[in-house]
Amino acid sequence: MDRMAGQISATHGRLHTAAEPYDQRMLDVGDGHSLYVEQGGRPDGRAVLVLHGGPGGGCSPFMRRFFDPSHYRSVLFDQRGCGRSRPTASVEANTTQHLIADIERIRHELGIEDWLLFGGSWGATLALAYAESHPARVSGLVLRGVFLGRQSELDWFYGGGAGRFFPDLWARFQEPIPEAERHDMIAAYHSRLFCGDTGRQGRYALPWLMWENALAGLQAAPVSHAPADYARAFARLENHYFRHGCFLEDNQLLRDRYRIEHLRAVIVQGRYDMVCPPATAHELAQGWPGCDLRIVPASGHALSEPRISAELVSVMDMIRDEDRRETGEGTP
């Protein structure tokens, strides 16, 4: 779950200066998939892995700007089937477990011992799943708009809960689906997004995308068009994961939180996030000694919301400054 990466605005003054990556590559991870991977900032700096939302959203140059390039070695990649990874929109050999293995493959390929995880929405889900699988390879987590991949959360967004606040937009999302199938919107869209007709898939991809995008920010303008390849990849991948419960046991990430409770975490959560309501972030943070939950006022879900962006930059700069104090870097 996350707003279109391609529509994120980079106008917030607190972001770091945009810089081109110093390394870009395609990494063959098997199963017919090749992943786009990039590195930016300081090659010997503290490694931070950026996990994009969706599933299917892909990375954006905007995402590089949360990290001071003089301190961080930022690693971004497009997950299987989306962005610049190939093949586009493929759900073959595409599960949460495959993505966890891909992250480990990237870490080995780049020679990184451990890294800080930075992810929002589905990116937060994947960060938690990876951290719980490989806690020794994680130095901390910075999460936004927490989504735990549970059925109750999917029911909220695709079962009419959020629709009670946006009845007009919910009606528009339901409109292409016959009334007899509207009791399970994920299944109804699945049968159309995975039919044999690529054109028909595209026609159903846009309303799927429009529904999520319209609720992403407090003042988000609904999407009326999007690049066909992007919309199809986003809708197919997200629907595929949600149709299969994100390939997680229900409540798995909370159940296994004990594996990472020794790690430090910061959660940045919009008070009025209608995609991933704050109750989930609050539940994740409760009883986690090293977890700092920051509820951001007058903000929704999108990474691009000004107060969300500013808070995330503040968190990453705080960690940078702590690192520098610990090593004595930059002191007289």
Active-site residue list: 121, 273, 301
**Is 202 within 8 Å of 231 (Cβ atoms)?**
yes
**Is 141 within 8 Å of 127 (Cβ atoms)?**
yes
For residues 213 and 276, give the distance between their C-alpha atoms in angstroms, rounded to a whole number: 13
| 3-state SS class at 275 | coil
> What does the angle CA 242 – CA 246 – CA 248 come to, to the nearest 5 degrees?
145
What one-letter code names the amino acid at 59? C
**Is 54 within 8 Å of 79 (Cβ atoms)?**
yes
Tokens 């700007």 belong to 65
For residues 233 and 4, give the distance between their C-alpha atoms in angstroms, rounded to a whole number: 12
* Angle, helices 228-243/198-216, rounded to nearest 10 degrees: 80
What one-letter code names the amino acid at 248? L
1, 42, 190, 243 from 247: Cα distances, Å: 15, 35, 16, 9
26, 40, 87, 170, 202 from 23: Cα distances, Å: 10, 7, 21, 42, 33
**Two tokens, residue 171:** 């009606």
**Two tokens, residue 219:** 């003042």
